[in-house]
Amino acid sequence: MGTPVVAKENVYFPTGGSGIVMLTDDAEKQQAAWDYIAFVTGPVGQKIIVENTGYAPANKIVLDDESYLGAYYETNPNAKVGHAQVAAHAGPWYAYPGAEGVAVTDLIAAALVELTEGAEVKPTIDDLAETLRLQLGMK
């Protein structure tokens, strides 16, 4: 077994999971969607989400200002520790660019399954790299 490596600074883990998108060209619907996005990602919306799901908040204000989740964290002290760690160490959520970004992630996942099922490593990785270059418009 290897020895753990302790990073001294600038440590973060890439985030993933929740996301919000707006899928309309209609100005009135865009405004309604924006109003909802602003609410649900704001401290009041995040308070509601945390209290009902225990999910880590996406807005650090609810961690810093006890008027939002102070009572919740009093009865759920472990949640506060976990949520503070997420806030301190969550980093950017990177995605592959362009219309094929999601497909690229799926191709990588499929190749990993092939490898775990015994596929030859070098040809599988070489084929994957070539496919990804084409999908991402790098060729």
Q: What is the pLDDT of residue 106?
A: 92
- Quote the mean pLDDT of the chain: 88
Q: What is the pLDDT of residue 3?
A: 58
Q: What is the pLDDT of residues 69-84, one digit of tens each?
A: 999 999 999 999 999 9
Q: What is the pLDDT of residue 88?
A: 83
Which residues on neighbouring strands pair with residue 90, listed in sequence order? 13
34 burial level (CB within 10 Å; 0-12, 13-18, 19+): exposed
Does residue 26 have a pLDDT over 80?
Answer: yes
Q: pTM value?
A: 0.60
